[in-house]
Copies of this chain bind each other. A is one copy, B any other.
Amino acid sequence: MQHLLPIQYEPILERALAEDIGSGDITANVTIPADRMARAIVLAKSDGVLAGLAVACRTFSLVDHNIVWEPHADDGERIGDRQPLATITGPARGMLSAERVALNVLQRMSGTATMTARFVALTEGTNARIVDTRKTTPGLRLLEKYAVRCGGGFNHRFGLYDCVLIKDNHLAAGGGVAATVARARAETGHTMKIEVECKTLDEVREAVDTKADIILLDNMPLEFLTESVRIIGGRATTEASGGVNLSTVAAIAKTGVDLISVGALTHSAPALDISLEFD
């Protein structure tokens, strides 16, 4: 599974800490003696899927490198209400100053993983993978794409840079499916796959002929999806997109598409309730 390096997420935590601590934690400074030590448990407060435990715990040691932590669960694991996830030990003042940022990170990441797992569960027994989109929180894409993997989903492209995805506006400028895909093939590096958005069955046929790697079936009714999968016949990867929610995803998956992309995994997943409880 995709692995996150500290050099990829520490700047996110540092900015979040600067945002929250600002000119100082004036409450902890006057109420907690500098030498007071503490122990606290990161505790699930509801059921879900865990994501971001190491990232969140790193927050504490960025505030005070004397704070250490021990994990009791793994990212990607189903967790239940009142389950202890990690133990944090160290100077109390720094633990209190870091608490909110750590939980904000962990709750969001686990919220996305949990939402992803719900979609994945509804597609069980089909070949369809649940994949994310670029509808992520500004600045947190790596964390959220990682959380989608924790929830059993897969990643679509990470940005504008790692896959060609030709949408309607590109097609309009490029002169239709065949001409635009051909031009992209000629101009783009050989490592890049080419995906093209289709809204009609005619476009789907044209896309197959151009040997697009992936065909995005945008906002199609179920019967069109089924027919598209039949037309494509394995000659391209198929992706359904648009109108996907917890009520519709199972039926979409049964049309035989390879991928179902869901913006809600990252733009509308509620935070998972997780708290820090001091001994």
The B-contacting residues of A in range 9-40, CB under 8 angstroms, are 12-34, 36, 38
The segment from A82-90, A160-168, A219-227 found at the interface with B is A160-168
How many residues of chain A have a CB within 8 Å of chain B? 103
A188 to B237, CA, bound (A): 14
The segment from A191-199, A204-212, A248-256 found at the interface with B is A191-199
A258 to B191, CA, bound (A): 12
Instruction: Report yes or no: B258 in contact with A135, Cβ–Cβ below 8 A.
Output: no
Q: Answer whether residue A232 sits at the interface, using C-beta atoms and an 8 A cutoff.
A: no
A17 to B11, CA, bound (A): 14
Instruction: Report yes or no: A7 in contact with B15, Cβ–Cβ below 8 A.
Output: no
Instruction: Report yes or no: B5 in contact with A187, Cβ–Cβ below 8 A.
Output: no
A95 to B278, CA, bound (A): 38
The residue in chain B whose Cβ has the minimal distance to the Cβ of A237 is B190
Residues of B within 8 A of A7 (CB): 14, 17-18, 21, 62-63
Residues of B within 8 A of A264 (CB): 270
Q: How far is the CB of A221 from chain B (nearest CB, A)?
A: 19
Residues of B within 8 A of A138 (CB): 12-13, 15-16, 19, 101, 104-105, 108, 139-140
Residues of B within 8 A of A160 (CB): 20-22, 24-28, 97, 100
A108 to B94, CA, bound (A): 27
Q: Answer whether residue A217 sits at the interface, using C-beta atoms and an 8 A cutoff.
A: no
Q: How far is the CB of A79 from chain B (nearest CB, A)?
A: 18
Instruction: Report yes or no: A34 in contact with B3, Cβ–Cβ below 8 A.
Output: yes
Instruction: Report yes or no: B104 in contact with A137, Cβ–Cβ below 8 A.
Output: yes
A41 to B161, CA, bound (A): 25
Q: How far is the CB of A152 from chain B (nearest CB, A)?
A: 12
Instruction: Report yes or no: B92 in contact with A191, Cβ–Cβ below 8 A.
Output: no
For this complex, 20 residue pairs linking A to B, each with C-beta atoms less than 8 Å apart, are A2-B26, A5-B63, A8-B21, A8-B23, A15-B138, A16-B139, A23-B161, A26-B164, A26-B188, A27-B165, A27-B170, A30-B183, A32-B174, A129-B190, A131-B190, A138-B140, A157-B191, A162-B191, A190-B258, A264-B270
Q: 5 tightest A-B contacts by CB?
A: A268-B270, A22-B161, A16-B138, A163-B191, A25-B160
A residues in contact (CB < 8 Å) with B: 1-5, 7-8, 12-34, 36, 38, 62-64, 92-94, 96-97, 100-101, 103-105, 107-108, 111, 129, 131, 134-142, 145, 154-167, 169-174, 180, 183-184, 187-193, 195, 214, 237, 239, 258-259, 263-264, 267-268, 270-271, 278
